[in-house]
Structure 1
Amino acid sequence: MRLINHIPGRPAALLLAALPFIMIFVAYSIASDIRLTANPQDKLLPAPTTIVETAERLFTVPDKRSKEILLWNDTFASLARLLGGVTISAMLSLALGLAIGLLPYARSLFSGFIAVLSMVPPLALLPILFIVFGLGEVSKVVLIVIGITPFMTRDLAQRVMEIPKEQIVKAQTLGASSWVIALRVALPQILPRLISNVRLSLGSAWLFLIAAEAVASNVGLGYRIFLVRRYLAMDVILTYVIWITVLAFVIDWLLKSLSRRAFPWMEANL
């Protein structure tokens, strides 16, 4: 039997999914043990037990100065910026994608501009955003919006243009206006794609957020990582990196669950 016809069972699939993580953990543990054996004061690769102890302290012990748990403050600040930027991007890309995909005049007006904007490195615009919007929350949210909106818009517009012409013609035959066609024909078909685009853009959104927080912020996950790096506090850095990964995974899982519940017909076609 060909390999492409071999489908792992549930236990085998779970084992295969866990295998890369187990290999990384084992490799890190071995490398950490080697370095700590040679130099017990080494900070580059702290022992897994040290990371666990640090994580427990960061999640539960308040800061001596502010009397607050800094990790939770950083989490709430970063999530507010991330969700704000992603929400605005989703709304903009949905509106622009529908307009470009359905309206020839809008396509002529925006498609070239969006294509050029998608080629601009968003991080290169960060100093400009700080000058224009200041060092507060707005510049960080705007960076996320500029970073992920062009990609999402182009993909949604392409999906709208792929809608069979027969559906558009039938809707017009029944007397539907352009607005009704957008809401009743195009919108239901691209909403699942919008959720998929948001999921794919989350990695980039986190990158832009952490970069902005590292440059100019006094709270946030990215700010804290770059603050403690001067002390070579790798146990704190790794805890924050793992926590960011967990948050990203949870958000992605929630979006995937939303897509499955709201658009079961889409999942059935995959």
Structure 2
Amino acid sequence: MRLINRHPGRVAATLLGLAPFLLIIVLYGMASKERLAENPNDKLLPGLEQMVAGVDRMAFQEDRRSGDYLMWIDTAASLERLAIGMVIAAALALLVGIINGTLPLARANLSPLVSALSMIPPLAILPILFIVFGLGELSKVMLIVIGTAPIMMRDVAQRVRELPQEQFIKIQTLGASSWQLVTRMVLPQVLPRLIDSVRLSLGPAWLFLIAAEAISATEGLGYRIFLLRRYMAMDVILPYVIWITLLAIVIDQCLRFGNRRLFPWYNAGGH
């Protein structure tokens, strides 16, 4: 049997998926043990006990200065910014994407602009956002919106254009108006694609969020990482990075689960 035709079972797939993570953990443990054996005060590769102590200090002990549990304060602040930014970006993507996909006149007018916006490196305009919107929450949210919305707009518009022309002809033959065409035919078929676009945009959104928090914030996961790097506090920085990764995975899987439950017909095709 050719290798391309061999498919692992559920158990084998799970083990194969876990293998790279276990390998990384083993390699890190070996490197950390070797460095700590040479220098017990080494901060570059902290051991498991040091990272557990760091998490305990940040998540389960009150900060002496503020009295807050810093890890949870940082998590709440970052998730709030991320949620607001992604909701706004998704709403804009849905609106502009449907307009571009269904109305040829609008596509001729807006599509070049959307394409140009999607090519702008969002981090390059971060200083401009701070100048225009200030150093508060708005500039951080706007960076997420500007960084993710244009890509999602193009994806949604492409999904609309991929819909069979027979559907457009039939629904108009039945007397549907443009509004009914959008709400009853286009919108239900585009929503699951929008959720997929949001999932794909989560990685860049986290990047933009952390970059904005690192430059101007008083709380947040990105702010804390860049604050602690001054002290080489890898026992906290590494758990924070792992925590961000876990949050991203949980959000992605929740969106995936919601997509499957809300639109089973879409996912039955192997999406």
Do they fold alike, i.e. is TM over 0.5? yes
What does 1:66-145 correspond to in 2, within 5 Å?
A: 66-145=66-145
| TM-score, normalising length: structure 1 | 0.98
Task: Name the SS of the counterpart of 1:41 in structure 2.
Answer: coil
Task: Name the SS of the counterpart of 1:7 in structure 2.
Answer: coil
Of 3-12 and 237-246, more deviation after overlay is shown by 3-12
1:19 alignment counterpart: 19
Looking at structure 1, the residues matched to 266 and 57 of structure 2 have their Cα atoms a distance apart, in angstroms, of 44
Looking at structure 2, the residues matched to 230 and 54 of structure 1 have their Cα atoms a distance apart, in angstroms, of 16
Looking at structure 1, the residues matched to 214 and 152 of structure 2 have their Cα atoms a distance apart, in angstroms, of 25
What is the Cα-based RMSD across aligned positions, in Å? 0.8
Task: Name the SS of the counterpart of 1:150 in structure 2.
Answer: helix
Alignment pair present for 1:241 and 2:241: yes
Deviation, structure 1 residue 214: 0.3
Deviation, structure 1 residue 49: 2.1
Task: Name the SS of the counterpart of 2:43 in structure 1.
Answer: coil
Partner amino acid for 2:204? S
Looking at structure 2, the residues matched to 112 and 61 of structure 1 have their Cα atoms a distance apart, in angstroms, of 52
1:150 alignment counterpart: 150
Alignment length (residue pairs): 270
Partner amino acid for 1:4? I
Alignment pair present for 1:161 and 2:190: no
List 4+ stretches of structure 1 deviating above 3 A: none
Looking at structure 2, the residues matched to 12 and 164 of structure 1 have their Cα atoms a distance apart, in angstroms, of 39
Looking at structure 1, the residues matched to 263 and 181 of structure 2 have their Cα atoms a distance apart, in angstroms, of 19
Deviations along 1:16-43, whole A, 9 cap, x unmatched? Answer: 1100100000010011111111111110
In structure 1, runs of 5+ residues without a counterpart are none
Looking at structure 2, the residues matched to 149 and 267 of structure 1 have their Cα atoms a distance apart, in angstroms, of 24
In structure 2, runs of 5+ residues without a counterpart are none
2:34 alignment counterpart: 34
Deviations along 1:171-210, whole A, 9 cap, x unmatched? Answer: 1111111111111111111111100000000000000000
Task: Name the SS of the counterpart of 2:219 in structure 1.
Answer: coil
2:204 alignment counterpart: 204
